[in-house]
Copies of this chain bind each other. A is one copy, B any other.
Amino acid sequence: MIVGVPTASGNETRVAVVPSVAEDLVEDGHEVLIEAGAGETAGFADEDYDDAGCDVLGDRDAVFDGAEVIFEVEALGAIEGSDAGVYSEGQTVIGLLGPYDVSDEVLETLAERQVSAFALELIPRISRAQSMDALSSMANLAGYKAMVQAASELDKLVPMQMTAAGTVQPADVFVIGAGVAGLQAITTADRLGASVRAYDIRPEAAEEIESVGADFVELDVHADDAADEEGHAQEMDEAFYRKQRAQLAEVVAEADVVITTAAVPGGPAPRLVTEDAVAAMDHGSVVVDLAADGGGNCDVTQPDERVEYEGVTVFGPTNLPSTLPRTASELYANNLRNLFELLVEEGELTIDIDDEIVDATLLTHDGTVRAPHEDESDGDD
């Protein structure tokens, strides 16, 4: 197969294929066309790709025109002003395609062109698909970086220290939401020596939270139906959230750093941290809202802005993995390659829509629009 790797659009710093993965693809008998400069912002030079056996092409169109499969970072529904017209008849495209935000018009254009489009966001949560789960690998990086950024912005030291000039108490970190990002934020805060507390709507998250070094915060709200059959957080009603917010506010007020990670896939993020809760934090404290893309868990959050509110700094980064472009590209390229391997048999593209992973991720195929079929986007792990 001929794989094409264009430079990612917009402010994206990641690249869909890193040299080591390109080398693997070439060893497997594939050809890799990469746009010149595609790896630059992630720290990989054209020479590195050349050494790995890629064709480095100065002409972007030549990458799109010459490839059978296009490896994207974010594309289509995931970015502003994307153009479905770059993909040619019968082409396959794999990437973070923003399945919940892609327009019907774009999907129809892709279907008309017989494009097979795989959205990595829809990878089911089953064991076999873990190595392809780009949302998890990127959420892991986001959780880490949220805490590192918070430490860098905080007005105090994170670890406890006993010095000749007195004892410094550890910073109090409060993490809301114990999914992949939340757990990694806890782990990183714990590494740095913080005193960490964490909350999740699912009571069964307590054990995992405690295993990575935080105290579980229990609220006096009914959350019996907080998780669906597959264990994912569900949207709750407004009365529940109001009660939850009031109780969370007390914990938020005591924290030096609050990291919120409560996102509902494809839906708006629940509002968990009010303006008043932020205002009650100490001057110089920091909030990092990882749900900014879905509207934010915090009232004050503005996507990709730094907001100063009553002496507290509130960040709403929507793409933290791109601030770790080297590691993020390495992990993402592995995710892509693992899905790609599922699609290739004896060197030929073989799209088997009876395969659960293929079925879940395929937005358009064989002239039809298939997805996003949200109800089936989660698996049964």
Contact = CB atoms under 8 A, between A and B. Distances in A.
Contacts of A325: 155, 284
B327 A164 contact: no
Interface string A289-329: 00000000000000000000001000000000000111100
A193 B45 CA distance: 27
B165 A331 contact: yes
Interface of A: 13, 40, 42-45, 130-131, 133-134, 136-137, 140-141, 144-145, 148-149, 151-152, 154-159, 161, 163-166, 168, 188, 191-193, 282-284, 311, 324-327, 330-332, 334-335, 338
Contacts of A166: 330-331, 334
B334 A156 contact: no
A13 B335 CA distance: 45
Contact of A43 (B42, B151, B157, B283): B283
Contacts of A326: 155-156, 284
Q: How many copies altogether?
A: 2
B133 A157 contact: no
The 8 closest A-B pairs by CB, nearest first: A130-B164, A152-B152, A43-B284, A43-B283, A165-B331, A137-B165, A156-B326, A156-B327
Contacts of A141: 157
Contacts of A149: 152
Contacts of A330: 166, 168
B148 A163 contact: no
Given A141-B157, A157-B327, A165-B334, 15 more contacts: A13-B155, A43-B283, A131-B165, A134-B165, A137-B163, A140-B161, A152-B152, A155-B325, A156-B327, A157-B324, A159-B191, A163-B331, A166-B334, A284-B325, A284-B326
